Structure 1
Amino acid sequence: MKDHAVAAEIQTSVDQAKEASSVLSASMPRLVLEARRIAASVQHGLHGRRRPGTGENFWQYRRFLDGEPAARVDWRRSARDDHLYVREREWEAAHTVWVWPNLSPSMTYASARLQPKRDRALVIAFALADLLVKGGERVGVPDLLRPSASRRIVERMAEAVLHAGTGPALPPAFGPSPLAELVLLGDFWSPTQAVCSRIEQLAGSGAHGHVVQIVDPSEETFPFSGRIAFHASEGGESLTVGRAEAWRPDYEARLAVHRAALRDTCLRLGWGFVIHRTDRPASELLLALHARMGAGANAPGSAVSESRQEDAPA
């Protein structure tokens, strides 16, 4: 009997995985189109991640400053004006951006008519990758896609995700380069210590990162009342509660403790921590992430405060 029960449980897990893969496959074209639309809508308002430095590509002319070596003057450009000008080259970012979208079963949850958390994570991952590649960066997905600067980065990421199907609830443990930048997109409802330990491991090489907790509004407000049957998205456990509203204070307290631990870990490591609700526009999160990436205020070792996207202006 025990063997039959184990076999039935395994078959149920296989069936659920097949169903999730089928749903993801059907929705992927829509997610890719949505990501491109969002990326295009915000791209015009971005100043990019370029800045002056050592490199081969021309960036801009600027006025010559007193005290600089005369060899830096661009005499051809200066001859067309009454001022001396210096030819600046573009700073070349030699680092990779790793973007990890959580593909675990818990990310398929959605309340009301909102977008599932997994879909929102994929849209942001695709749109961000599109913007970064157009800005000259290399983008990779841990364990799924090697860093690439291909203009087809969105299609390549989508193919890799479809091939992977479901995935673990935490990003894989790997050793990113100290010059790398990480963007972790998930709900991070795993045990607090496990989440914090994984963030610390990824930051151990000196890489900078951003933890984005994507949540459904019901996961924050716990709007349930009366007799409710709760079903775990992973493991198949279920729990029936007689008066769900009585659980709200304890739920909110545990949520606050969990969030505080994640936020404190990120601040201590100089990482960014962002909370994004699926009832807010994806473009808000995309703009916030791009603004934080590569900026001096978010350089490794700097303290980045939590940003709650649900409070951002429309």
Structure 2
Amino acid sequence: MLQAPALVAHAANLDLVIRHVLAGLGHGIHAGRERGAGVEFSEYRAYAPGDEWRRVDWKLLARADRYYVREAERDSHVAVWLWLDASASMAEPSRTVAGLDKLAYARTALACIAAIAQRQGDAFGLVICVNGRTEAIQPARGPRQLQRILAALARTEAGGALPDDDALRTCLRFARSPAVVFAAGDCLDWPSPWSQALGRLRGLRHDVRLLALSTQAEVDGSFTSGLAYRDREGDGGLHRLLATDREAYRAARGAHFDAVAAGCRQRDIPLTQARIEQPLEAVLRAWLRLPGARR
């Protein structure tokens, strides 16, 4: 059987990849904070007039000679927003997995999040940042919404730069309602209007989770020595990475992503860094980790 990165690279049908990746994953997107007669036990509290008798813990009454009620937390439905950086740099390919690039990995990861949201009954929507603009599908529930999201992701191609601040501010109109935001990109343009938009969402107390993707070659600088490379989103001409440049490249890249991580910590945005050659299941587990588990 194909490993997950190769499956992402070669599968034309996102449904197939979702079924493969989510088999046995078992993660939900959020834990609600509504109190009531839910499934997951939270705490005991003293009985108060009006409480349902079926929620009284009779065994605890026998031990403590007082009435206590079992409190539980149940999932509360919130909107799930999928944010995809589809700028030109996301077309960077893996040097070891044929047919795989950062965009394919990101849109497959977001497709899996959409499938989980649909499975647990949440409304979910999509924002694609491409060619300097945003394309949005408003949140809805159900299998048809999942197919709309998958179709939009499947036809997305990397191009252009990220949207400017005005375009992203217009897109943030959904921020009035509680949301979980899963943002996937390569974070090469940081700080940027995109990073500022994520910070504004977090400032409005939305649950924002960022996935920063790289290729293995980008991480360790194992590009073919002497070949010329062009900035996909700029007009700075051609660049050559020689064997003597690798140490400086790795130091500069490390400093950049240290700054990304520091900015996320400052805004209380959980950051998951991953290489597209990694198994997608493990990356999803890290990205889906609930806020309480992070601490």
Query: Is the TM value for this pair above 0.5?
Result: yes
Please show how residues 80-159 of structure 1 align to structure 2 within 5 Å. 91-114=74-97, 115-142=100-127, 143-159=135-151
Q: Using the alignment, how far apart are the partners of 1:192 and 1:132 within structure 2? A: 29
Answer with 148-157 or 120-129: which moved more.
148-157
The match for 2:53 is 74
The answer to whether the 8 Å contact 1:95/1:138 transfers is yes
| Number of positions where the alignment pairs a residue of Structure 1 with one of Structure 2 | 267
RMSD of aligned alpha carbons:
3.6
Please show how residues 175-186 of structure 1 align to structure 2 within 5 Å. 175=172, 176-177=175-176, 179-186=178-185
Unaligned runs of 5+ in 1: 1-25, 299-303, 305-314
TM-score scaled by length of structure 2: 0.74
Residue-by-residue CA offset, 1:282-311 (whole Å, 9 max, x unaligned): 00111112223xx3356xxxxx7xxxxxxx
Q: Using the alignment, how far apart are the partners of 1:42 and 1:234 within structure 2? A: 36
The match for 2:222 is 223
The match for 2:238 is 239
Residues 226 and 285 of structure 1, relative CA distance in 2, 3 Å threshold: closer
The match for 2:187 is 188
The match for 1:310 is none
Q: Using the alignment, how far apart are the partners of 2:198 and 2:139 within structure 1? A: 20
- Equivalent residue for 2:268, pick from 270, 273, 296: 270
Question: Percent identity, aligned pairs only?
Answer: 21
The answer to whether the 8 Å contact 1:95/1:179 transfers is yes
- Equivalent residue for 1:296, pick from 285, 292, 295: 292
Residues 219 and 209 of structure 1, relative CA distance in 2, 3 Å threshold: same
The match for 1:199 is 198
Q: Using the alignment, how far apart are the partners of 1:76 and 1:262 within structure 2? A: 47
Pairwise CA distance, 1:186: 0.8
More strand by share: 2
The answer to whether the 8 Å contact 1:186/1:212 transfers is yes
The answer to whether the 8 Å contact 1:100/1:141 transfers is yes
Q: Using the alignment, how far apart are the partners of 1:270 and 1:94 within structure 2? A: 22
Q: Using the alignment, how far apart are the partners of 1:224 and 1:61 within structure 2? A: 50
TM-score scaled by length of structure 1: 0.70
Pairwise CA distance, 1:67: 2.5
